[in-house]
Amino acid sequence: MSRLNYHHLYYFWRVAREGKLTRVAESLHLSQSALSAQIRKLEERMGKPLFERRNRTLVLTEAGRQVFNYAEVIFTKGEELESLISRGIEPEYQRLRIGMLSTMSRNFIEGFIAPLLDLDEHKVHFSLHARGMANLLDGLARHELDVVLTNTQLPPSDSPQAAWQSQLLARQPLSILGPPGSDPGTAFPEGYAGLRWVLPGEHHEIRRAFDGFCSLHQYEPEILAEADDMAMLRLLARDSGALSVLPEVVVKDELKQGRLTRFARLPNVYENFYAITLPREFMPTVVSELLARPLKDLG
């Protein structure tokens, strides 16, 4: 009976995790040609290609993703074994790598990871990675991330490798917010003429919803500033003296402190928050537990 060469599997695992043959070769003190030869031997053993090259980048094939899933378990358990032998204590934590859209609300992220903060420090070790959407999806495909959090819909894809699973986690009503004492006290748009606004950029989903609301009421907002980043919009809403349209979760501290107040809510308009994953045979159980929580209306 032939046996799997775990040196070949380890080399494959390192390259699959890092995505760069050159970097892995340098860290292992091997030439690129030698490292490539070892991976080819594994492919010959498996009878299928494990990588395909796209724009000078190695991308896992379907068979490669399956092999990677097993290799991830094998070498993670190996690290646990080393810890057990060297310290006499078996680590019982799970590793969780969370990607988050760089422009979304940090308050929502904090709420999502809150259950992890209540666990014993040896139960879960998690890391947060803020990136753009394309980078996040690439990280999922490369198994660099376990779950991605976003407030935008998934872009359409014709790639058979992009078998994304998107789950609605929570939603938040959009509100017109402003400094205390500046509320017109009337139904929109009466009394809002001449007031200035800080808003998301014109391609942002929140902005499109607000533009539609304004069009319905034949109102033209006077825009002071635009920003797509929720952290920046939070500062502008807090310090500019202008009105804004945001999910209240973004400025929950300012609302609690009385630095901002809600004037009105946009009817039947929400910002949605999603979790994106890829089908995996060995999904960390903590991911399943987080995603199994009931849909939350942040309003």
At 271, is the pLDDT very low, low, confident or very high (cuts 50, 70, 90)? confident
> Region 206-210: what's the mean pLDDT?
90
Does CATH place domain 86-169+274-297 in 2.60.120.20? no
Q: What are phi and psi of 205, to 5 degrees?
A: -60, -40
Q: How high is the mean pLDDT of the chain?
A: 84
pLDDT 10s digits, 237-248: 999 999 999 988
What is the architecture, at CATH level 2, of domain 6-85?
A: Orthogonal Bundle (1.10)
Question: DSSP alpha helices (H): ranges in 149-284?
Answer: 205-216, 230-239, 252-257
Give the pLDDT confidence score for residue 162 in this predicted structure: 56
Q: What kind of fold does domain 171-270 have according to CATH?
A: D-Maltodextrin-Binding Protein; domain 2 (3.40.190)
The C-alpha atoms of residue 62 and residue 150 are separated, in whole angstroms, by: 25
Fold matches, 86-169+274-297 and 171-270:
yes
pLDDT, tens only, 64-80: 888 888 888 788 777 66
